[in-house]
Chains A and B, each alone.
Chain A
Amino acid sequence: MPFEMTLSDSRVDRPRPSRRLLRKLLRVRATAGFLGVLTVGPAFATDAFVSNEKGNTISVISVESMMLKKTISVGQRPRGLVVSPDQKTVYVALGDADKVAMIDVKAQEVTGDFDAGRDPERLDISPDGKTLYVTNEDSNTLTFFGIESKERLGGARLGVEPEGLAVSPDGKVIVATTETTGMAHFIDADRRKILANVLVDARPRMAAFTPDGKEVWVSAEIGGTICIIDAETRKIVDRVRFEVPGLRAENVQPVGINISRDGKLAFVSLGPANRVAVVDVKTRQPIKYLLVGQRVWHAAFTPDGKFLLTANGVSNDVSVIDVAALKVVKSIQVGESPWELVIPGEAKP
């Protein structure tokens, strides 16, 4: 894509050449590392599915080889992704098509789609796999769909521009964020009613429960913070703030949050800061900043928890973070404007 290259190269973008060099060096080291992964890898094929917002495609990456394996055309503006609890289906929110598409994990093909209301952005799913939750950014609604019937079951009216979604580990509470209203809404999953509205910092993008279900972490993109909400009292108990050396505060824009399964580390994507912050969940302090691709949105752990893959919206690639070493070990070119990724585990019967 020569046109694209001219565009990004003509931007006065100083860190780029040096990072390229760094990545090259890392890639050499990574190859050795991944050979190891290959031999001890799981028996099933693990693939990462990346939504490319502008490319209207899903890139499939083989986690074993960390190589691009396939590109699936999926429809207008794919963003939010979620895997069914049986690990067999990936649901894709198609914002400009007003639909949710289904991709069969094994066949790696689109198997169908259904109307999902205006501008579906993010998705989540009930732990029993029966209900799909959709934030409709353009109509201030959290919509509930029956997975079996593909029918709209109901909705909860939220603030302006709903986006982030999280489901409590017990499945009883859904947290949805609204960007312009600036709230985290707690919703009763059964009754589809709002339980509480918590004002958070400016432009909340994403919510995540800690694995013990006790805290909800909410990223505030414009506020530049993570607001930590006690899931019981539904009050903000603390904030994580970020200071990246050499970067202006306004470029630090937290979006994606991924908390390790043991609940010890949180990986926060910092958008145009081109970094993922590693936060000690207990002390709520950032302990390291990892340089990834440009405009990092969302990320996902491999099923074994050893690697975190990030979707970098401007550099059109996926960075691979070695979780134990806290190092970026590889980058993989994907489609245009990657936004979110999911990595299904072994299929359950």
Chain B
Amino acid sequence: MGPVTRTIRALFALMCLAAPARAEPGPAPEGTAQTFVIGYLRRAENRTAISRVNLPAENDGQAGAQAGLDDNNVTGEFLGQIFSLAAHRLKPGEDPAQALADLEAKGARFVLADLSAESLLKAADSPAGAGALLFNIGAPDEVLREESCRANVVHVAPSRAMLADGLTQYLLWKQWRKFVLVVGSHEEDRLWAEAIKRAAARFGGKIVEERMFADAGGARRADSGVTLVQKQIPAFTQNAPSYDVMVAADESAVFADYLPYRTWDARPVAGSAGLVPTAWDPSYEQAGATQLQQRFERRFLRPMTALDMNGWEAARMIGEAAAHEAAGDVAAAKTYLLSKDFALAAFKGQKLTLRDWNLQLRQPILLSDGRNVVSVSPQEGFMHQFSELDTLGLDRPETKCRLK
């Protein structure tokens, strides 16, 4: 399905959603519409989860981007602008630089990237990357915002440090100061644990013990079910020093979801299970969010995830640039997104803006228990001279990013 067919389908879907007997929208004269092809580049590998209710949908992230383009297209009817999505999913071993070049050949200058840090840098540093503005929606790695920051990569996804700071502020507000940190055996688990340790040190929490949960391999689901887990987890968590909360660093989804209700001591769990910091949660209803949730669910027949929200926000950022006549080229869009005129309304209770030192989107962090949003960080009392949102993540004075 080509981008044009996709647009027609998107517009048709929009028309179906609108009230049955609608009046004229007052469209721009035919033939004068400005068109924007937005690229979407996806990693080859599937994300996984322990609980089957958390297994991502086939269109996780891309549906969010499409929802953002749908919203842009409604506005576009009044401005004579049409947005379409050109999506490509990498095959295992496929070169992301070539994939980006292929998207560029289809006219995409703005490209949403759900890629690993390594693939993202490969794409950004390629010849095709030089003429593109990439929107990182799927990689939380600090290094992309720090030592390896790039002038052509905007980070919509919150970084691990932002997520860890958002969680830790709340834990300390609750006066749960003593953490037992349980870390998985994969590299991304270690990086997530680093962010939690940094947050604890920064805000006055204490890691009283750190344990590693080794991934012994094997399937996450087995016919023998929870019997084994029920024996394994209490044993694994016993003999801990006095603590308030168990914080799990398990991005690889190997063990964290097994911790709640099974710890040796009766303690809450946070981090990768229990109370989880996130960019979005399908239960979130504040600041008018219900409308976006309903719009998304009607269109895609499933709840909206954090990756979807990152995609929506990226698409809306491009839409805002276009509405303000700043999407003609990549440089103009970047200038606009960094200007004082840019403010993204994303149902998070305050405007989202870009950090000019590393192109990271400033944003509140939601804390979800999997059913409801328990709180939204930054917490009250965590002050900042410029923006309280900058109490989340590495701040300007700490950054190692030098944008060229």
Contact = CB atoms under 8 A, between A and B. Distances in A.
Partners in one complex: yes
Interface stretch (A38-46, A101-109, A176-184): A176-184
A179 B74 CA distance: 12
Given A181-B78, A183-B75, 4 more contacts: A13-B380, A157-B23, A160-B75, A222-B351
Given A13-B380, A179-B288, A160 B351 contact: no
A203 B345 contact: yes
Interface residues on A, range: 35 or more
B29 interface: no
Contacts of B26: 193-194, 197
A114 B387 CA distance: 46
Given A138-B291, A182-B345, A202-B351, A156 B23 contact: yes
Interface residues on B, range: 35 or more
A139 interface: yes
A141 B18 contact: yes
Which of B26, B77, B78, B389 counts the most chain A CB atoms within 10 A? B78
B344 interface: yes
Contacts of A161: 288, 291
Contacts of A183: 75, 78
Interface in A166-214: 179-183, 185, 192-194, 197, 199, 201-203
A221 B346 CA distance: 12
B294 A138 contact: yes
A251 B75 contact: no
B386 to A, nearest CB: 9
Interface of A: 11-13, 117-119, 136-141, 143, 152, 154-157, 159-161, 179-183, 185, 192-194, 197, 199, 201-203, 221-224, 248, 250-251, 253, 272
B22 interface: yes
Contacts of A137: 291
Nearest to A201: B343
A13 B381 CA distance: 9
9 contacts: A12-B380, A13-B380, A138-B295, A152-B21, A156-B24, A157-B77, A194-B24, A199-B323, A251-B350
A180 B381 contact: no
A155 B22 contact: yes
B23 A222 contact: no
Interface of B: 17-19, 21-26, 71, 74-75, 77-79, 173, 288, 291, 294-295, 316, 320, 323-324, 343-345, 349-351, 379-381, 387-389
Nearest to A191: B23
Given A138-B291, A138-B294, A224-B351, A180 B19 contact: no
A223 B351 contact: yes
Nearest to B70: A160
Contacts of B316: 180
Contacts of A159: 74-75, 78
A222 B21 contact: no
Given A157-B24, A182-B345, A248 B78 contact: no
B23 A181 contact: no
A55 B19 CA distance: 29
Contacts of A154: 21, 23
Q: Which 10 A-B pairs have the closest CB atoms?
A: A203-B345, A222-B345, A250-B350, A157-B25, A194-B26, A181-B75, A197-B78, A202-B343, A222-B351, A202-B345
A130 B367 CA distance: 48
A136 B19 contact: yes
Given A141-B18, A160-B75, A180-B345, A12 B23 contact: no
A141 B93 CA distance: 47
